[in-house]
Amino acid sequence: MSRERYVIVGLAKTGTTAIAMTLRNTLRIQGFCMEPQNIAAVEAEPADRVVIKFLFDHWANRADELRDFLCDTSRGAAPTKIIVVRDPRDEAISRLYYFAYNYFSTRPTTDDDHAAWLEIFRRKEAAPQSVGLVEMQNELISRFGMGFLITREMYESFARFIDDILVSSGNPAYLLRYEDFVGQNIPPGPLQSLLSGSRNVGSAFRRVHRRGSSGDWHAFLTDDDLASLNGLCESYLRRFDYPFERITARANASDALSQTTGSNYVNGLITEARRDFRERDRIVSA
C-alpha cells in the first residue's frame, strides 16, 4: 500500500510551519515529520498519511538528494508538494526576530546576554529610521559571534531547486507565495482546497507566529538596508516578481515596529528558549 505524503519545502521563516499545520488541519492528518535532517527520518515515520516539512537551508548542500526524494515514484505516487517562497526582505526581518530562540535554546547563557540582546531591538524601536537591519546583524555578530542573514548563493540555489521540481515533478507541485497565503489570495483550485482549513498552529508551535503579515520591510528597512538586500537577492526578487521599490504609504506604518511584536516578542522567545535549554540540560544530566 503506497503512503499518502504531502511535502512543504521552503527557506526558514517563510511560513512553512503555518502552511504545514494548515494542510494537516484541512486533511485531518496526524502524521507529521518536522524538518527531517535525512531521508531515513522520513521513511521511519510510521503513519500512512503524513505531512513532511523540509527547510531548504538544511538541504542546500544535498539538493539533488531532496529533489530525487520528492520526485520518486518507485514506491507509488510521488508526494504532493507545496514549494513556499516569501519576499526575502520580510524573511530577513523574521529571521532577525526569531534568531533569539535558536541562539538561547542551544547553549548556556546569562541574564546579561538576555539584556544585551534585547537592547539591540530596543535601540531599533527608539530610532527606527537610523538603526538598520544590517547594523543589527553586525551588533549580534560582534556581541554574540553569530548572524542571521543567509547568502546570495542560498537564494539562487533554492530558485534553481524550485525550477527543477516544477519541471520534473511526477505528482502535483504547487508554488505558493507566502503573501498569498497570509492574504488569503490563493487562486481557486486544488491548492486553495488543500489550505482551506484552520490555521491554528497549536501550542507547540505558537512561538513561531509573530505577526502573520507581509510587507513589513517597507517600514522596517533603512535605505541602506534596502539597497543591500536588493543587491543580495536581485535575481530571486526578479524570479518571483517581488518589487524593488518601497511603497511610501506602507513605509509610514508604525505597527511594523511595535514593541508587542518587537522587543516584547523577542523577550518572550529568550525566556522560553532559556527555559527549554535548562530543561534539556537537566534531563541529560539526570
Domains plus CATH for the chain? 4-86+151-199 (3.40.50), 88-150+209-285 (no CATH)
State the average pLDDT for the chain.
92
Q: Which residue has the higher pLDDT, 72 or 165?
A: 165
Mean pLDDT of 178-203: 94
pLDDT-derived band at 211, boundaries 50, 70, 90: confident
Q: Which residue has the higher pLDDT, 48 or 189?
A: 189
Q: Give the tens place of pLDDT for each residue, 121-155.
A: 999 999 998 999 999 999 999 999 999 999 999 99
Angstrom distance (rounded) from CA 173 to CA 165:
7
So what's the pLDDT on residue 41? 93
So what's the pLDDT on residue 286? 67
pLDDT-derived band at 57, boundaries 50, 70, 90: very high
Smallest CA-to-CA distance from 232 within 147, 123, 164, 162 is with: 147
So what's the pLDDT on residue 249? 59
Angstrom distance (rounded) from CA 237 to CA 64:
23
Taking 70 as the threshold, does the pLDDT of residue 256 lie above it?
Answer: no
Q: Which residue has the higher pLDDT, 171 or 132?
A: 132
Query: Which grid cell sits at 184?
Result: 488569503
Angstrom distance (rounded) from CA 91 to CA 113:
25
So what's the pLDDT on residue 208? 87
Query: Which grid cell sits at 167?
Result: 519541471
Q: Which residue has the higher pLDDT, 274 or 79?
A: 274
Q: What percent of the chain has pLDDT over 70?
A: 94
Angstrom distance (rounded) from CA 140 to CA 100:
10
Smallest CA-to-CA distance from 26 within 159, 165, 197, 169 is with: 197
Q: Give the tens place of pLDDT for each residue, 105-116.
A: 999 999 999 999
Taking 60 as the threshold, does the pLDDT of residue 47 lie above it?
Answer: yes
Taking 70 as the threshold, does the pLDDT of residue 196 lie above it?
Answer: yes
CB 101 within 8 A of CB 24: no
Query: SS3 string of the chain?
Result: CCCEEEEEEECCCCCHHHHHHHHHHHHCCCEEEECCCCHHHHHCCCCCEEEEEEEHHHCHHHHHHHHHHHHCCCCCCCCEEEEEECCHHHHHHHHHHHHHHHHHCCCCCCHHHHHHHHHHHHHHHHCCCCCCHHHHHHHHHHHHCCCCCCCHHHHHHHHHHHHHHHHHCCCCEEEEEHHHHHCCCCCCCHHHHHCCCCCCCCHHHHHHCCCCCCCCHHHHCCHHHHHHHHHHCHHHHHHCCCCCCCCHHHHCCCHHHCCCCCHHHHHHHHHHHHHHHHHHHHHHHC
pLDDT-derived band at 244, boundaries 50, 70, 90: very high
So what's the pLDDT on residue 138? 97
CB 71 within 8 A of CB 78: yes
Question: Looking at 72-76, 145-149, 164-168, 221-225, which range is the least confident one?
Answer: 72-76
Mean pLDDT of 210-235: 93
So what's the pLDDT on residue 72? 80
Smallest CA-to-CA distance from 165 within 53, 40, 78 is with: 78
So what's the pLDDT on residue 253? 54
pLDDT-derived band at 169, boundaries 50, 70, 90: low
Q: What percent of the chain has pLDDT over 90?
A: 77
Would the CA dihedral through 133, 135, 140, 141 be positive or negative?
positive
